[in-house]
């Protein structure tokens, strides 16, 4: 549903009733990722359930820089107490040695629900609120890729994890979600944020996701977002990707370095179903390239991706 401004209020009221009726006197939990969808779902659920909602941030080690603390402070301002649970080891253990994109997605999903199952048991919540949106469901149905949150399509039985899932945003595309976020009073730093996938930086790390390789993607992402913003560009998504290949370069002392290759991806899209590469001005790309190789010594090459969607997908796994 492409939601119009005047519809957002009615949508919110309808979903508040739905959440109240579904959860009754029980407790619910929402896992925040820092992305727009889960944040909007959390604020909506908090409006419906108040103290009966527990918000958690599973720190899986695959988030953007400073994400946990930033989300915590934004939600504190909205009166929502967020607990951060460090589950980095579980995720890196599960991803160890995996190269195949779908195997990585499945490992992420299984670890995510296992970790969440433990938090849910501790909290005694019976329901979990998820920010699944329409595009997630469509992509999984079409067999493009296994979005981690489309449970029935991927054969996950939530009751195995002690959860009943509620998905209040599942009729909306991204612009509708942003509109609901704005009407709910979510600050622009969250509601206008670029989409960020559930499996986080793992979707931008081709090959094995070790803590060291993820750190390269994380640092490169900061530079890409920073320079794109400084240039006044507002693409649908812009990010860095680490390839599973190497290229020769020279380090600061002039020694040969068979280093990492980073791809810069910037894409224009309305609903994430199709997209085209942004016409990023060359001086901006050069600045990104200079900063990435200077600030991340293991990187020797930076490329800009021109492929649209289709044929490529937006993320790399
Ligand atoms: P793709 O790569 O399929 O991405 O062209 C389409 C949009 O979805 C985001 N994306 C995900 N979001 N869980 C999510 O919550 C996922 O597993 C996932 N995979 C991709 C991607 O960032 C883009 O906006």
Question: In a mutational test of the pocket of ligand 1, which residue from 143, 310, 314, 317 has the highest number of ligand atoms less than 8 Å from its CB?
Answer: 314
Task: Find out whether the peptide bond into 234 is cis, omega within 30 degrees of 0.
Answer: no
Each domain of the chain, given as residue ranges in start order, spans 5-191, 205-304
Q: Please tell me if the CB atom of residue 199 comes closer than 6 angstroms to any atom of ligand 1.
A: yes
Q: How confident is the model at residue 216 (pLDDT cuts 50, 70, 90)?
A: very high
**Angle, in degrees to the nearest 10, between helices 282-295 and 211-230:** 150
| pLDDT of 303 above 60 | yes
Instruction: List CB contacts of 169: < 8 A, sequence separation 6 or more.
Output: 15, 37, 40, 41, 44, 131, 132, 133, 176, 177, 180
In this predicted structure, what is the pLDDT of residue 154? 46
- Cα separations in angstroms, 56 against 10, 87, 298: 28, 12, 34
Residue 158 in this model has a pLDDT that exceeds 70? no
Q: How far apart are the C-alpha atoms of 137 and 170, rounded to whole Å?
A: 8
- Does 5-191 carry CATH code 3.40.50.620? yes
* The total number of residues written for the chain in this structure: 317
Distance CA 31, CA 238 (A): 24
- With CA atoms as reference, report the closest residue to 305 among 294, 213, 288: 288
Token pair for residue 253? 């002392």
Q: Are 151 and 167 in contact (CB under 8 A)?
A: no
264 beta partners: 240, 304
Strand 127-129 relative to strand 164-166, pairing: parallel
Q: Residue 69 has what DSSP assignment? A: H
- DSSP-derived secondary structure letter, 163: -
Rg over CA atoms, the chain: 20
Q: Is 258 exposed, middle or buried (0-12, 13-18, 19+ CB in 10 A)?
A: exposed
Q: Are the C-beta atoms of residues 134 and 170 closer than 8 Å to each other?
A: yes
- Ligand 1: residue whose CA is nearest its atom 4: 314
- The per-residue pLDDT of the chain, averaged, comes to 90
Q: What is the average per-residue pLDDT within 138-166?
A: 64
pLDDT value at residue 191:
83
Query: Does residue 253 register a pLDDT over 70?
Result: yes
Band the pLDDT of 139: cuts 50, 70, 90: confident
**Contact between residue 225 and residue 284 where contact means Cβ atoms under 8 Å apart:** no
pTM comes to 0.86
Q: Spell out the alpha helix ranges (H) of the chain.
A: 5-23, 36-49, 67-77, 88-95, 101-123, 134-141, 174-183, 188-191, 211-230, 282-295
Q: Tell me the C-alpha distance between 262 and 1, whole Å.
A: 36
Q: Is the CB of 106 under 6 A from ligand 1?
A: no
Q: Looking at domain 205-304, which of 3.30.300.10, 1.10.287.610, 2.30.110.10, 3.50.50.60 is its CATH number? A: 3.30.300.10
Q: Is the pLDDT of residue 68 over 90?
A: no
- Ligand 1 centroid to residue 44 C-alpha, Å: 22
313 lines ligand 1 (CB under 6 A): yes
Distance 195 CA to ligand 1 centre (A): 8
Average pLDDT on 61-69 reads: 92
For ligand 1, pick from 197, 266, 275, 311 the residue to mutate: most ligand atoms within 8 Å of CB. 197
In order, the DSSP letters of 1-61 are: ----HHHHHHHHHHHHHHHHHHHTTS-EEEEE-SSHHHHHHHHHHHHHHGGGEEEEEEE-S
Mean pLDDT of 296-301: 96
Span 168-180, average pLDDT: 94
Residue 38 to residue 26: CA distance in whole angstroms: 20
- Residue bearing the bigger pLDDT, 190 or 97: 97
């Amino acid at each position: 549903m492409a939601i119009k401004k005047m519809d957002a209020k009615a949508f919110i009221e309808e979903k508040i009733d739905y959440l109240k009726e579904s959860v009754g006197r029980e407790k619910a939990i929402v896992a925040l990722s820092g992305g727009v969808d889960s944040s909007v779902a959390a604020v909506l659920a908090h409006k419906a359930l108040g103290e009966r909602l527990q918000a958690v941030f599973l720190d899986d080690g695959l988030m953007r820089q400073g994400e946990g603390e930033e989300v915590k402070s934004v939600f504190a301002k909205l009166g929502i107490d967020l607990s951060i649970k460090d589950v980095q080891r579980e995720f890196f253990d599960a991803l160890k040695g995996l190269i195949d994109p779908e195997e990585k997605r499945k490992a992420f999903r299984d670890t995510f629900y296992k970790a969440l199952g433990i938090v849910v048991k501790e909290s005694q919540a019976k329901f979990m609120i998820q920010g699944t949106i329409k595009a997630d469901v469509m992509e999984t149905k079409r067999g493009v890729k296994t979005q981690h949150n489309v449970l029935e399509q991927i054969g996950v039985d939530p009751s195995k994890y002690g959860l009943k899932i509620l998905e209040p945003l599942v009729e909306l595309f991204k612009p509708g979600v942003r509109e609901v976020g704005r009407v709910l009073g979510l600050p622009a730093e969250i509601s206008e944020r670029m989409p960020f996938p559930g499996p986080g930086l793992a979707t931008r790390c081709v090959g094995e996701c070790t803590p060291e390789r993820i750190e390269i993607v994380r640092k490169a992402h900061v530079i890409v977002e920073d320079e794109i913003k400084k240039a006044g560009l507002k693409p649908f998504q812009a990010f860095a990707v680490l390839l599973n290949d190497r290229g020769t370069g020279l380090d600061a002392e002039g020694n040969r370095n068979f280093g990492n290759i980073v791809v810069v991806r910037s894409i224009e899209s309305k609903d994430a179903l199709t997209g085209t590469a942004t016409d990023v001005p060359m001086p901006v790309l050069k600045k990104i390239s200079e900063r990435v190789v200077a600030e991340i010594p293991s990187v020797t090459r930076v490329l800009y991706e021109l492929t649209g969607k289709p044929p490529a997908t937006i993320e790399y796994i």
